[in-house]
Amino acid sequence: MDGSFGDRAAAYVDRVERCLDRALPPADLAPTRLHEAMRYAVLNGGKRVRPMLVYAAGECVGASPGQLDPAATAIELIHAFSLVHDDLPAMDDDDLRRGLPTVHRRFDEATAILAADALQPLAFGVIAGASELSAPQKVALAGLIAEACGSLGMTGGQAIDVGATGSLLGAAELEAMHAMKTGALIHASVMSACCVADALSDEETNGMDAFGRHIGLAFQIRDDLLDVEGATDVIGKRAGADAALGKPTWPALFGVEQSRARCAELLDAARASLGIFGDRAESLLWLARLIVERSA
């Protein structure tokens, strides 16, 4: 492996954006307004953290980028779907996402609901249609992603978050909510590489699993911190939105300093859990630091 992951990260982002562009129906194909909205929701300059995690985890377990493209693409489609629905008036009621009008603002509410609804099956269709993967690999990936985005994962976490607005959760409940809302899909990103890798030892699988959990939680705490610390023009969405909504967050419960300390702890734990992979874990660790130290 040549160079640092920092050098390869941009190439991986380009790679998944080409995959996303190919997976999405063209904007001039009917129903055009729906397809425009789907493309707008996905091809909007997202950071592509989850695809980068897929590719970096692939370096760790010896899976090729071609084998990882379907998972990277599908997971980013699922992530985009969740953002569109989270932004709706009945949920977080956000006007801005990545510095641009949210999908229901740019189009309309019905189109936003349906565009996101169509991104989900597109994700599973990408997996089912992947020519690089065997049928058992596809089944493993589809099962992993279905679980991660369902009622015991991402969507369930969002339901707890929406239901908890205005009330203070306890630490255990908050951590469980974070683990579901953001952690589940981050974890699935990492584990997706295991689905397409050649036989891994239990120790390797368990190490990857622990890394995914630690870094998923760290990602959400960092997100909460950014909402407190960040300026709207840097994070691309309304800063202070969580506090304004009375949302349960890590800094609200523990304060900013303790939240930062928890992030640092989780980064250490994430690093330790990849010990078995030696140098092959370099890229994942680079990404883990990026997640914990990012300013947007």
Q: Which residues pair with 100 in a beta bridge?
A: 97
In the bound complex, what is the minimum distance in angstroms from residue 111's beta carbon to its own copies? 7
* Shortest CB 114 distance to its own copies, Å: 5
Q: Smallest distance, Å, CB 38 to its own copies?
A: 6
Contact set with its own copies (CB under 8 A) = 25, 30-31, 33-35, 38, 81-82, 85, 88, 90-91, 108-111, 113-118, 120-122, 124-125, 127-129, 134-136, 138-140, 142-143, 145-147, 149-152, 155-156, 158-160, 162-163
Q: Nearer Cβ to its own copies, position 104 or 222?
A: 104
For the record, the structure tokens of 12 come out as 């991986």
Tokens of 255: 């304060």
Burial readout 161-195 (b: 16 or more C-beta within 10 A, e: otherwise): beebeeeebeeeebbbbbbbbbbbbbbbbbbbbbb
Q: What gap in Å lies between CA 154 and CA 144, rounded to an integer?
A: 12
Per-residue DSSP letters for 250-284?
HHHHH-HHHHHHHHHHHHHHHHHHTGGGGGGGHHH
Residue 153 tokens read as 């994962």
Which secondary structure element, helix H or strand E, spans residue 101, and what is its range?
A: strand 100-101
Least spacing, CB of residue 178 vs its own copies, in Å: 14
In the complex with its own copies, which residue's Cβ is closer, 155 or 205?
A: 155
Kindly tell me which of 13 and 41 has the beta carbon lying closer to its own copies: 41
The continuous run of DSSP H or E covering 71 comes out as helix 65-86
Provide the minimum distance between the beta carbon of 169 and its own copies in the complex, in angstroms, as a whole number: 12
What is the signed CA dihedral for 264, 181, 51, 212, rounded to 10 degrees?
50
Q: Which is nearer to its own copies, 38 or 267 (CB)?
A: 38
Number of residues that make up the chain: 296
Unique residue bearing structure tokens 């985005």 = 149
| Cβ 145 to its own copies shortest distance, Å | 7
Provide the minimum distance between the beta carbon of 98 and its own copies in the complex, in angstroms, as a whole number. Answer: 21
Q: Considering beta carbons, is residue 30 or 257 the nearer one to its own copies?
A: 30
Of the two residues 160 and 228, which places its CB atom closer to its own copies in the complex?
Answer: 160
Instruction: Closer to its own copies by CB, 138 or 214: give it.
Output: 138
Farthest-apart Cα atoms in the chain, separation: 51
Cross-strand bridge partners of residue 96: 101
